[in-house]
Amino acid sequence: MKQPIRLGVNVDHVATLRQARGTTYPDVLAAARLALEAGADSITVHLREDRRHIQDHDVASLVAEGDIAVNLEMAVTDEMQGIAERLRPRDVCFVPERREELTTEGGLDVAGDRERVTAAVARLAAAGIRVALFVDPEPAQMAASAAAGAAAVEIHTGAYADAADAAAREAQRRRIASAAVRARELGLEVHAGHGLHADNVAPIAAMEEIVELNIGHALVARAVFVGLGAAVAEMRSAMSAARD
């Protein structure tokens, strides 16, 4: 029997839906609770510099619950590090961020930005936060992440998820597998995520070195289909009851 693997549910797109209308629903905290009840181990949120989905108060209220393992994704900026020091999520995952991107497009270049990343890792570690670095499945990035003092790497699975055909996907799977082995050898905890869904998760979840997956977009997208029928039925019955 292999070690169990943890699931971190990213609820960013629950907030996307709320921000699209400027409403107070759907409630991010309620979504987090539902995810945890359904088997999630932790809740991941990305506080983007442009605040397009998750807001500062979402992070504060998740952390204030006390019993939720919060993984806060953020850019390597002074502002974000200050927020993490103040709010104290259990984990922080540093990610690269460009304002115009639709989602996190590539891994953090730890190897090319050693000083800044090392200082950021040390700053948050001093606040008692466990720090992961979101990196592409490259041996140089694994080595640089270990040298930077990170507790974990999160391997970017986007190229695997977006591969055009089975051969390209297999090549990406192998890249991830060997990066995961390398990271483990270096003493890093290994996480992975981005673009994973029910049909492509198995080959990644089967890798023993990987102990945590963070998944968001596909779960919220799937929730529309497993939940829309119930939501319509509820509305139908509220309308019909008003006519009785």
Contacts to ligand PXP by CB under 6 A: 10, 12, 46, 73, 93, 95, 103-104, 134, 154, 193-196, 214-218
Give the 3-state secondary structure of residue 154.
Answer: strand
Is 13 an annotated catalytic residue?
Answer: no
Is 46 an annotated catalytic residue?
Answer: yes
Query: Toward ligand PXP, which CB reaches closer, 70 or 215?
Result: 215
Catalytic residue among 46, 53, 156, 191: 46
Separation CA 92–CA 101 (nearest Å): 21
Give the 3-state secondary structure of residue 187.
Answer: coil
Closest approach, Cβ 217 to ligand PXP, in A, equals 3
Classify each residue of 119-146 as buried b or exposed e, where b means 16 or more C-beta atoms within 10 Å of its C-beta. Answer: ebbebbeeeebbbbbbbbbbeebbbbbb
Catalytic residue among 53, 73, 156, 212: 73
**Alpha helices per DSSP H over 65-165:** 78-87, 114-126, 139-147, 158-161
Closest approach, Cβ 44 to ligand PXP, in A, equals 7
Query: Toward ligand PXP, which CB reaches closer, 116 or 217?
Result: 217
DSSP 209: T
Query: Toward ligand PXP, which CB reaches closer, 71 or 182?
Result: 71
Query: Toward ligand PXP, which CB reaches closer, 103 or 237?
Result: 103
Active site (catalytic) residues: 46, 73, 194
